[in-house]
């Protein structure tokens, strides 16, 4: 188990303070703080911003870990940013979370690809369809009321949890006799559908991709998790393209969160590869149960 130690001298501390103050200055410029604001109020504002950023970075680390193992990090990251930054439009907050999600997912995909053999050509085709679906989903996010979709998603998640729990061989990997054309048609269908969901609603996308790869393609949990990361890159890119073009990304929050998300993804991929299918199966069930609770709260209590 590697150990990490950090030795910071006086010069390094000064550099960190300069970096911090520079970052805060840029943030204040972006926020258009009035020049007449008192120094006390200014530092109170900076303190609140740092506190919010700290919370979001910790959550982003956990989300990166979850995403790297079984997907579903958005179930943690999305509600957190909605709670911490309620003063911003929902579309802006959704767009902001896509930067750390993309960063952690891309890192996890790179780590998995070094240890697991993947069907790159097939995954590229699925990723293209997922990209198109996510772009359409992001476009319709303001036109379709997601409240009508959430009860259906809740039923699907409950079914998945029960099936996974009682079927001990689910995710162990099965051989499906599919022609290349059948593989492509199935991949196009679930790639576009789940991609559209990612652009429209978002949380749990990685989990749905893993479910699709296992149930429709016969992958085991480890290969399904690795494959889903590559497709998730496409859906996150699509969302970022759309939200950045409309100015709906807070980079002062998104970039630090991305660093922590990558750190979580590093730990998550190492554990997933080391522990294998059994660990991923248990973690998958935990994330699905959490997703059920999240959607049930949105439907019945929110």
Q: Do residues 125 and 246 lie in contact, with contact meaning Cβ atoms separated by under 8 Å?
A: no
**Predicted TM-score of the model (pTM):** 0.74
Helices (H) and strands (E) in the chain, counts: 11, 0
Q: Pick from 129, 135, 128, 74: which is nearest to 101 by CA? A: 74
- Cα 228-230-236 angle, rounded to 5 deg: 95
Instruction: Express each pLDDT in 191-233 by its tens digit.
Output: 999 999 888 877 778 888 988 999 899 898 889 989 999 999 9
Q: Residue 59: is it exposed, middle or buried by C-beta count within 10 angstroms (0-12/13-18/19+)? A: buried
Residue spans of the domains in the chain: they are: 41-300
Q: Once rounded to an integer, what is the mean pLDDT over residues 137-162?
A: 76
What pLDDT score was predicted for residue 247? 76
Q: Pick from 93, 121, 120: which is nearest to 109 by CA? A: 120
User: Above 90 in pLDDT, residue 165?
Assistant: no
What pLDDT score was predicted for residue 54? 93
Task: Identify the residue with better confidence: 27 or 81.
Answer: 81
Among 68-77, 247-256, 262-271, 275-284, name the most confident range. Answer: 262-271
Q: Once rounded to an integer, what is the mean pLDDT over residues 106-115?
A: 90
Instruction: Express each pLDDT in 28-80 by its tens digit.
Output: 555 554 545 556 666 666 777 888 999 999 999 999 998 888 887 887 888 88
Sign of the alpha-carbon torsion through 182, 183, 188, 190? positive
What pLDDT score was predicted for residue 257? 96
- Cα 20-24-30 angle, rounded to 5 deg: 150
Among 34-38, 80-84, 85-89, 131-135, name the most confident range. Answer: 131-135
The mean-pLDDT minimum among 19-28, 48-57, 290-299 falls in 19-28
**How many angstroms separate the most distant Cα atoms in the chain?**
71
Distance CA 74, CA 195 (A): 14
What pLDDT score was predicted for residue 7? 31
Mean of per-residue pLDDT scores for the chain: 81
Q: Once rounded to an integer, what is the mean pLDDT over residues 153-165?
A: 82
Residue 2: pLDDT band (50, 70, 90) is: very low
What pLDDT score was predicted for residue 26? 58
Q: In this structure, what DSSP letter does residue 71 have?
A: S
User: Above 90 in pLDDT, residue 139?
Assistant: no
């Amino acid at each position: 188990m590697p150990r990490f130690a950090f030795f910071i001298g006086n010069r390094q501390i000064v550099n960190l303070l300069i970096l911090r103050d520079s970052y805060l200055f840029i943030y204040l410029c972006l926020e258009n703080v009035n020049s007449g604001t008192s120094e006390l109020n200014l530092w109170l504002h900076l303190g609140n911003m740092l506190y919010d950023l700290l919370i979001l970075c910790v959550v982003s680390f956990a989300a990166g870990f979850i995403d790297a193992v079984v997907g579903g990090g958005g179930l943690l990251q999305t509600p957190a940013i909605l709670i911490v930054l309620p003063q911003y439009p929902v579309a802006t907050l959704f767009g902001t979370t896509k930067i750390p999600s993309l960063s952690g997912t891309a890192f996890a995909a790179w780590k998995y690809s070094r240890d697991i053999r993947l069907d790159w050509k097939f995954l590229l085709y699925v990723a293209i369809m997922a990209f198109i679906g996510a772009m359409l989903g992001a476009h319709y996010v303001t036109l379709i009321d997601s409240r009508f979709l959430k009860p259906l998603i809740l039923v699907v998640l409950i079914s998945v949890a029960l099936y996974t729990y009682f079927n001990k061989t689910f995710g162990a990997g099965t051989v499906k006799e599919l022609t290349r054309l059948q593989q492509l048609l199935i991949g196009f269908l679930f790639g576009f559908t789940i991609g559209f969901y990612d652009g429209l609603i978002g949380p749990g996308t990685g989990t749905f991709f893993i479910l699709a790869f296992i149930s429709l393609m016969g992958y085991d949990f480890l290969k399904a998790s690795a494959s889903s990361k590559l497709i998730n890159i496409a859906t996150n890119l699509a969302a970022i393209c759309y939200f950045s073009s409309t100015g709906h990304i807070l980079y002062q929050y998104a970039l630090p969160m991305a660093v922590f998300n990558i750190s979580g993804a590093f730990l998550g991929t190492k554990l997933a590869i080391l522990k294998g299918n059994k660990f991923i199966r248990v973690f998958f069930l935990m994330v699905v149960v959490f997703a059920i609770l999240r959607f049930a709260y949105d439907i019945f209590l929110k």
